[in-house]
Amino acid sequence: MHNFCIIPRGLDRFLIAFLLLLPAVSVTAQEQPMVITYGVGGGWFEPATNGQGLVFEVIPATNLMVAYWFTYPQNGGGREWFLAQGDISGARADLVIYQASGGIFDLPSEVALDEWGTSVLEFSSCTEATWAYKSSGGDISGDIPLQRIGPDVLCAGEQATAMTNVVSRTNAWFDITGTWVFDGCVSLENNDSHGTERFTFSEDTLHFTMDYYSNTSCQGTPEVREFNFRSTRVDKTTASLEGEQVIANRMVFIDPVTAEQTKMIIYIDDREMEPLFTHGLQDLPQDNDGFPTELPALFFTREN
């Protein structure tokens, strides 16, 4: 696959900023953030209210968190069973809570699910989380600090590989491990150009190479520029791609020598047999945290 393109001058600065890690995009180094993985599933409770709690289930195919909340009525004297589900973004899930009623013990029956309220579930680690709930009328609300009931078996070990499990355009988890290649020629505003780019993701690292030319048409022998970063996936977001809002992922790439950081967004289009990859540009509009909010139509394909 060969793509030849000359990008607008406004995008040229990104290439230099990304390669040189300009101070304009550097921030203070931070610890690798917690990311919800399949391993957070299981039973959770607050010791002070032992006898009630929640069970979580993660569904990667639809980026969905499902919660089963077992508790009691405000006035006591019975049991309450709630079901909640919602979208996952980084360490957080935003859920709609439904109240179940009408079932009969151990018999087929029609169970009614009525919308009761909303919840924000946020994990600070693989063993601690907070369940913040609010009824639709706003008259019932609270925060429940949660602990995992049993030992953590999967979550801690999944945190490194979670950095490469991004959320795709179809809202499914997608493993970007491997090498992605842009095979083309991009003219730069300083009368230079770059040719083939390679992004290689492996657990929490990114290896990046670019063929750099001292002319505008990628002619002759290139200077191969090579960089290594530690990568962290922050959360899910949306970004503009050719005027359409699409699902993307906020990520931070950290220079292991200087600890300087570059904030990026990653996009995977998985609608066809051959997935496509692109990344946001630093000199395009940014959100309040300094992450790009637009994506270029310059696509990488996965190297076999």
22 pLDDT more than 90:
no
Over the stretch 247-300, which tens digit does the pLDDT of each residue have?
999 999 999 999 998 899 999 999 999 999 999 876 667 888 899 999 988 899
Is the predicted pLDDT of residue 16 greater than 80, yes or no?
no
> What CATH code is carried by the domain that includes residue 148?
2.40.128
Indicate if 101 and 129 belong to the same structural domain. Answer: yes
Q: pLDDT digits over 64-85, tens only?
A: 999 999 999 988 888 899 999 9
What pLDDT, on the 0 to 100 scale, is given for residue 196?
94
Identify the domain containing residue 126 by its residue range. Answer: 38-159
3-class SS letters over the chain: CCEECCCCHHHHHHHHHHHHCCHHHCCCCCCCCCCCCHHHCEEEECHHHCCCEEEEEEEHHHCEEEEEEEECCCCCCCCEEEEEEEEEECCEEEEEEEEEECCECCECCCCEEEEEEEEEEEECCCCEEEEEEEECCCCCEEEEEEEECCCCCCHHHHHHHHCCEEECCCCCEEECCEEEEECEEEECCCCCEEEEEEEEEECCEEEEEEEEECCCCCCCCCEEEEEEEEEEEEEEEEEEECCEEEEEEEEEEECCCCCCEEEEEEEEECCCCCCEEEECCCCCCECCCCCECEECCCCEEECC
171/291 same-domain check: yes
User: Does the reported pTM lie above 0.85?
Assistant: no
Note whether 65 and 89 are same-domain residues. yes
- Domain end position, chosen among 159, 183, 200: 159
Number of domains in the chain: 2
